[in-house]
Amino acid sequence: MLLTVTDIQKTYQTADGPFAVLRGIDLCLAAGETLALTGESGSGKSTLLHLIGGLDTPDAGQIVLQGQDIAALDDTGRAALRRGTVGVVFQQFNLIPSLKVGDNIAFQARLAGKHDPAWAATLAEKMGLTPHLNKYPEQLSGGQQQRVAIARTLAAKPKLVLADEPTGNLDEATAGVVMDLMLQLVAETGAGLLMVTHSEALAARLSRRLHLRAGQVA
């Protein structure tokens, strides 16, 4: 099993007192498997994704990725995990405006010491970005920028891809194209994919679905 999440709990302090965002979540994901995480706003989907990605730490429970408990890592360990083992695609593209498209694609892989020029070129070609490699992000459409963001994530060949509403800023036609490419490339690399989405159409394309309601599996 690539990822095993056991009894994850997370509470935040608010002006009205403690708010339990996650109340004992369990899930598992095998290599090459795709899982849609669905639920209403505030159900804890993005919080869970951030905990799995090492962007935050749970109050209780275990998140085991390839035999390593992410929750037990310090900040340096979690940062190293995000550089090489886990790739995150956000709704916001988070591209580096001062870098050209080609350098944005290679950025994450270079940080991880895993830059493969041939693989980066393959990603750019499959994403339809080859003609745009010497442009800056501001010169691209929203759909093209999201393709760059996905290519950047996959360039480091992560074992686990986490996607938080990756097509939320795109029109339906562009979202479909981007989703096609992401599923194809995840399948080619054998990575697991965990995707937060409000879209029933996108959720139906993944192999399994986990629905959250009020911080618990519904």
Domains and CATH numbers, the chain: 33-56+79-217 (3.40.50.300)
Q: pLDDT class for 175, splitting at 50, 70, 90?
A: confident
Q: Among residues of the chain, what percentage have pLDDT more than 90?
A: 63
Q: What is the pLDDT of residue 134?
A: 98
How buried is 63 (Cβ within 10 angstroms: 0-12 exposed, 13-18 middle, 19+ buried)? buried
Q: What is the pLDDT of residue 36?
A: 96
Cα–Cα distance for residue pair 7/140, rounded to 1 Å:
42
- Arithmetic mean of pLDDT over the chain: 91
CA-based nearest residue to 36, from 183, 189, 187, 185: 183
Q: pLDDT class for 170, splitting at 50, 70, 90?
A: confident
Q: What is the pLDDT of residue 31?
A: 92
Q: Among residues of the chain, what percentage have pLDDT more than 70?
A: 100
